[in-house]
Structure 1
Amino acid sequence: MAAVSLSVSTVKPLGDRIFIKVSEAEAKTAGGILLPDNAQEKPQVGEVTAVGPGKRSDDGTRQELDVKVGDKVLYSKYAGTEVKLAGEEYILLSEKDILAVVA
Structure 2
Amino acid sequence: MATSLRNIKSLAPLLDRILVQRIRADTKTASGIFLPESSVEKLSEARVLAVGPGGLDKDGKRVEVSVKPGDRVLIPPFGGSAVKVGEEEYTLFRDHELLAKINE
- CA, structure 1 residues 30+75, in 2 after alignment: closer, same or farther (shift >3 Å)? farther
Q: Which runs of 5+ in 1 are unaligned?
A: 1-5
SS in 2 for 1:58: coil
Are the counterparts in 2 of residues 17 and 93 from structure 1 also a CA contact under 8 Å? yes
Q: TM-score normalized by structure 1?
A: 0.82
Aligned equivalent of 1:36:
36
Q: TM-score normalized by structure 2?
A: 0.81
Tell me which amino acid in the other structure corresponds to 2:41.
E
SS in 2 for 1:12: coil
SS in 2 for 1:21: strand
Residue 66 (str. 1) matches residue 66 (str. 2) = yes
SS in 2 for 1:7: helix
- CA, structure 1 residues 30+90, in 2 after alignment: closer, same or farther (shift >3 Å)? same
Deviant stretches of 4+, over 2 Å? 28-35
Q: Which runs of 5+ in 2 are unaligned?
A: 1-5
SS in 2 for 1:38: helix
Aligned equivalent of 1:45:
45
| Identity in percent | 41
